[in-house]
Amino acid sequence: MAEGTELVEESAKQDMPRVVAALAGILERVAGRNDAATTPAELAAAPASPFRAMTKPGISVRAYAARIARFAGCSPACYVVAYIYLDRLLRRSRRCLAVDSYSVHRLLITAVLSAVKFMDDIRYNNAYFAKVGGISLAEMNYLEVDFLFGVGFDLNVTPETFADYCAVLQSEMLCAAAPPPRLHYCCLSEDDAGSSSSLREAAMEAS
């Protein structure tokens, strides 16, 4: 847990927290890999999801994460927890939810919103997060509900789990120039718990 605490404390002192840059790096790499691996036919046949935008957002994942970090005012620990929640969502989802350029931004803003509500006593409301994320309040509310059902309302994070994901993020910082993970769909059904398709495993594979 000491290493995880060090990462969070160092991030709190920076304009662009290291933990945010590491998380953005993982998501950007996975989304880029999935974009390259998806054919137009597969894209057209992708399962419907409230997290999938009709068009690709005109902002990079890193810039979007930086925007959230700048305006959301949440603690660095929230980004570690958001990473854990994203992994849980992708593991539990019974539908194939691809982390690509069409979905990664909405997944990120919703995961951070869910994490900040669980972690921080003082926080902005959904209307503010919707403005930060560039979506409507109604959409933000809907995404939050869908996300919570997607993770089975499993929001508790043990110190051991927190430290494990901090270690992955620290590895990401050291291996930022590594080739992208071999990953197509970040999707697991509950019956496929042995598969290597989570965000955490993708990041570890890249390192």
DSSP per residue, 27-77: HHHHHHHHHHH--HHHHHTPPP-TT--SS--SS-HHHHHHHHHHHH---HH
Q: Which residues lie closer than 8 Å to 46 by C-beta, 6 or more apart?
A: 38, 52, 96, 98, 102
Percentage of the chain modeled with pLDDT above 70: 74
CB atoms within 10 A of CB 9: 11
Helix, strand or coil for residue 171? Answer: helix
Tens digit of pLDDT for each residue in 35-63?
A: 888 777 777 667 778 898 888 899 999 99
DSSP per residue, 80-111: HHHHHHHHHHHHH-SS----STTTHHHHHHHH
Average pLDDT, whole number, for the chain? 80
Residue 161 has pLDDT above 50, yes or no: yes
Helix, strand or coil for residue 193? Answer: coil
Tens digit of pLDDT for each residue in 21-36?
A: 999 999 999 999 988 8
What's the pLDDT score for residue 195? Answer: 37
What is the 8-class DSSP label of residue 147?
Answer: H
Q: Where are the domains of the chain?
A: 9-174
What's the pLDDT score for residue 162? Answer: 95
Q: If 0-12 CB within 10 Å is exposed, 13-18 middle and 19+ buried, where does residue 36 land?
A: exposed
Task: Write down the architecture of domain 9-174 according to CATH.
Answer: Orthogonal Bundle (1.10)
Tens digit of pLDDT for each residue in 65-101?
A: 999 999 998 999 999 999 999 999 988 875 567 889 9
What's the pLDDT score for residue 15? Answer: 56
Residue 200: pLDDT band by 50, 70, 90 thresholds? Answer: low
Distance, CA of 167 to CA of 10 (rounded, Å)? 14
User: pTM above 0.75?
Assistant: yes
